[in-house]
Structure 1
Amino acid sequence: MLEIKHTLCPSCSVGCGINVVSQDGDVVGTYSYKRHQINEGKNCLNGRNSIEIYKNKFEVSDIEKIIDEVSNELKSNDANKITVVCSGNNSVEEAEMIKNFAELNNFNIAFYADNFVNLNDDIASYDEIENASKIIVIGDVVYENPLIGRKIVHAKKNGANIYSFTPEKTVTANVSDEIADSIESLLNDKLDDDSVVVYSKIESSDDLEKIMESIANSNCKSLPVFSKCNSKGVSKIIDAKSKEDVIELLDNTDVLLIFNDDLVAEIDYDYKSISKIITFVPCSNSTSDISTIVVPIKSWLETDGSYVNAMGLFQSFENVVESENLSEIEIIETIQNKL
């Protein structure tokens, strides 16, 4: 039987709705949810391909044995040498559970969100971007986040000036009126209280500090576009750390627990220096490939929960396929009961 269920796309922080198509319990495709308030019937390629996480999920053979291994590792190591890493891929409910788990056991905790820390709360809405007269874009936002890219393109058609700091051969560069040589020159020359600043991942903490200071001084609105679906929501629960702060924490870690993240792909570090890496993920990634223990968890299609999108909108979702696998929350509860 063909079945269509609505859920949220996990590919970035925009918060698009998406319909998942299944046949006789097997997921076969996606198509746009036309009445969704965020994307209004549009989904990017990343969204349409998001079901690959489910299709490539780990097969669980003996989860009880794996949980016992994790519990034994945690019991045999000093709590102050154990670090828990939460991810923007975790739902609000999962993040709360992870934080409680770390605090209850006196483990260190880290949350990395594209190097975004201490963000301004005066967030621009997607409509404000579309209706802006001047947009400053840092990063290739138009390509990486097509829905926000549409808003920027619509603004340009309505007469807005688009100024960017991005490599020349990018989609964002193609729609820009002017490309700056540096973030500093872009902010100094173009930023005023009529501007809306849209920015994606910032590699340098110094650059982020300049951006935040300039935004505050100009009284303009901004929209940080996270690469993960619930980074905004998790940041309300766990303070985000800079890349430098995460590395400092890793330097003092013997056992590293990573929840639904690919830290190896995001932060360059000598992970071989960490004695044990335990990864909780639905499918293989760069981090699971080097992990001591891999704990399979339900994929996003198999869980219920809630996300907070980039502009702060709280959205709940329900599972669209049934699964006998344990959820992240169930696994953490089971581990905690064994400690």
Structure 2
Amino acid sequence: MFEIKHTLCPSCSVGCGINVILDGEEIVGTFPYKRHPVNAGKNCLNGRNSIDNHKSKFEDVDLDKAIADASNEIKSINASDVSVICSGNDNVEEIEAIKEFAESNGFKIGFYADDLKNFEDVASYDEIAGADKVFAIGDLLYENPLIGRRIVHAKQNGAKIYALSKNENAVTFNIADETSNSSVQEFLDAFIDEIDDSSVVVFNYVDAAEDLDKLESLNSKVLPVFSKPNTKGALNIIDPKSSEEMEELFDESKLLLVFNEDVVEEFDYDFTKISKIISFACCENETTKIADIVVPVKSWLEQGGSFVNAMGEVQNFNSVVESDNLGIVEVIEELNK
């Protein structure tokens, strides 16, 4: 018998709702959650495919042994040589537990937020649609379509659209009045006289830390859009590191504890230099393939929790399916014994 359960899309920080279709305990598909206030019945391709990673879950892993092996490895190495990596894929409750675990044991902690940072006063999605001018940094119509939808609404409402992308064929260019392939600094400088309190600047990347300072100094509201669902929530709890700082952390580590992050995919770094890697992950990724120990953990579909979306709204979600695995909070409780 088919059943429908509501949850959140984990594909980026926009915070769209999705419906998951179950045939018994088997997930067989998704479709948009029409009454969800963020996406109102629309989902992008990433959202529709968000359950795919659930299909690459670990089979035939002895969970008790994996946790015991991880615990023994952690206890065998000096705390100063251990680094804990958390992620915007972790929910708020998991981030809090990971931070407490690292600090109480004297471990270093690393969190990467796409080289972006926390902006306290950000634009809402409705403010994008209602702006007189929208400055889009990144191909938002292609990469974050539900944000792109608000930019299209702004255009339909008479707004002027300024678009910057490294891609000369960016989809966002199709609706833009002004386009650029320049650096972020050059783009902002070129239109600085146009950016005012009737404008919104939306971005999903920067070229350098100086760009963040420039964005923070603007007279308009801004909205950073992150690649992971709870990056904003993590930023409220942990200070992020730049990509260079993360690589310095890797250099200092003999044991890397990676919680729901694919560091191998994320960073151009030789991870064979690190003596041991333990990956706590809900599904297979490039990091689990090279990890010395893999501890399977519950995915967002298998537990309740909360994400903080790009606007700063806390969004709660419930489990959709049952799992024999433990969540990250429960795994940390076992490691602390």
TM-based fold match above 0.5: yes
Aligned residue pairs, count: 332
- Equivalent runs, 1:310-329 vs 2, <5 Å: 310-329=310-329
Structure 2 CA distance, aligned partners of 1:120 and 1:27?
Answer: 37
Contact 1:201 1:227 in 2 (8 A): no
- Equivalent runs, 1:239-254 vs 2, <5 Å: 239-254=239-254
Q: Note if 1:113 corresponds to 2:117.
A: no
The one-letter code matched in structure 2 to 1:158 is N
Q: Secondary structure at the match of 2:12?
A: coil
- The answer for the alignment partner of 1:139 in structure 2 is 138
Q: Note if 1:289 corresponds to 2:289.
A: yes
Structure 2 CA distance, aligned partners of 1:76 and 1:162?
Answer: 57
Q: Unpaired segments of 5 or more residues in structure 1?
A: none
Structure 2 CA distance, aligned partners of 1:52 and 1:98?
Answer: 26
Structure 1 CA distance, aligned partners of 2:205 and 2:86?
Answer: 18
- Equivalent runs, 1:81-96 vs 2, <5 Å: 81-96=81-96
Q: Note if 1:199 corresponds to 2:203.
A: yes
Deviates further, 246-255 or 179-188? 179-188
- The answer for the alignment partner of 2:278 in structure 1 is 278
Structure 1 CA distance, aligned partners of 2:265 and 2:235?
Answer: 20
- The answer for the alignment partner of 1:154 in structure 2 is 153
**What is the TM-score of this pair, normalised by structure 1?**
0.95
Q: Unpaired segments of 5 or more residues in structure 2?
A: none
Residue deviations 1:138-173 (CA, integer Å, cap 9, x gap): 111111111000000111121111112202111122
- The answer for the alignment partner of 1:186 in structure 2 is 187
Q: Note if 1:52 corresponds to 2:45.
A: no
Q: Secondary structure at the match of 1:316?
A: strand
Residue deviations 1:12-63 (CA, integer Å, cap 9, x gap): 1000011111011111111111111110011111111111122221124311
Structure 2 CA distance, aligned partners of 1:257 and 1:139?
Answer: 32
Aligned-residue offset at 1:201 = 2.8
- The answer for the alignment partner of 2:30 in structure 1 is 30
Structure 1 CA distance, aligned partners of 2:9 and 2:324?
Answer: 22
- The answer for the alignment partner of 2:124 in structure 1 is 125
Aligned-residue offset at 1:334 = 0.5
Structure 2 CA distance, aligned partners of 1:266 and 1:62?
Answer: 28
Aligned-residue offset at 1:120 = 2.6
Residue deviations 1:242-300 (CA, integer Å, cap 9, x gap): 11111111110000011001111111111111000111111111111111111111111
**What is the TM-score of this pair, normalised by structure 2?**
0.96
- The answer for the alignment partner of 2:332 in structure 1 is 332
Q: Secondary structure at the match of 1:218?
A: coil
CA gap of 1:308–1:133, structure 2 versus 1, over 3 A, is: same
Structure 2 CA distance, aligned partners of 1:243 and 1:92?
Answer: 22
Contact 1:282 1:299 in 2 (8 A): yes
Structure 2 CA distance, aligned partners of 1:9 and 1:286?
Answer: 22
Q: Secondary structure at the match of 2:153?
A: helix
- The answer for the alignment partner of 2:305 in structure 1 is 305
Contact 1:124 1:311 in 2 (8 A): yes
